[in-house]
Amino acid sequence: MEAKQRILSERLERCYSGAVYDVLRAMGYPNQVLPHHIGPLQLDQKLAGPVYTVSGRYDVQFDPHETLLSWTAFLSKAPSDTVVICQPNDRTLSHMGELSAETLQGKGVRGYIVDGGCRDSAFIREIGFKVFCSYLTPVDIVGRWKAQDLGAPITIGDVKIATEDYVMADHDGIVIIPQSIAEDVVIQTEEVLKTESLVRKAILAGMDPQEAYLKYGKF
């Protein structure tokens, strides 16, 4: 990853999802939030960066060897400094576990978001790898699920996601930022945070909340 992208990721991670959403809404992008059933394994974790997508398919007729070949191929190709977002098209299995999390972390992947399952959650929390998922289950992918499309556009809920878009995820939710406006969104969000700080100080100093809103245009 270029240094500019890495710096943008770090700046975005210092923001929070509510402020990012407010900026996107004001820019005409009100539908960029992933379904609220996807949440972090560890509540205090924040995750941000450029996206790398993966999608897959469930089929009980898959050969066990082929399913593991497809999964390890994904692990091999996942780029460092990205946030992997997976649309598994499945609601029954785990699509992340102990060894895979450790592998991605060792490659420098920033984190993993899946509209699906995770297992070995205690170990993943212990190593600090950032995972957002829909549910927990011990059932693995062997003989049932393949990672098939790497880097291709996906849809989760009503949100279209492309590789090189940006994502900002925290306990409140997961916001997808189109790549073409990512830098502008970060700049505007940083300004929002500064204004919110002024509003907070004014209210704590005794200013009426409506007066503070009218003065700063933000609440």
Give the total number of structural domains in the chain.
Answer: 1
Instruction: Say if CB 132 and CB 51 are below 8 A apart.
Output: no
Domain span at 89: 3-179
The CATH number of residue 40's host domain is 3.50.30.40
195 domain residue, yes or no: no
Specify the pTM. Answer: 0.92
Output the pLDDT for position 193.
87
Give the tens place of pLDDT for each residue, 166-218.
999 999 999 999 999 999 999 999 998 887 777 677 678 777 778 767 777 77
Backbone phi, then psi, for 168, in 5-degree steps? -130, 120
* Percent helix / strand / coil, the chain, rounded to 5: 40, 25, 35
Bridge partners, 117 (sequence order): 94, 135
20 domain residue, yes or no: yes
Rounded to the nearest integer, the mean pLDDT of the chain is 95
117 domain residue, yes or no: yes
193 domain residue, yes or no: no
Mean pLDDT by 10 residues, the chain (219 residues): 88 97 97 98 96 98 98 98 99 98 98 99 98 99 98 99 99 98 97 77 77 73
Output the pLDDT for position 203.
75
Please state, in angstroms and rounded to a whole number, the distance separating the CA atoms of residues 213 and 43. 30
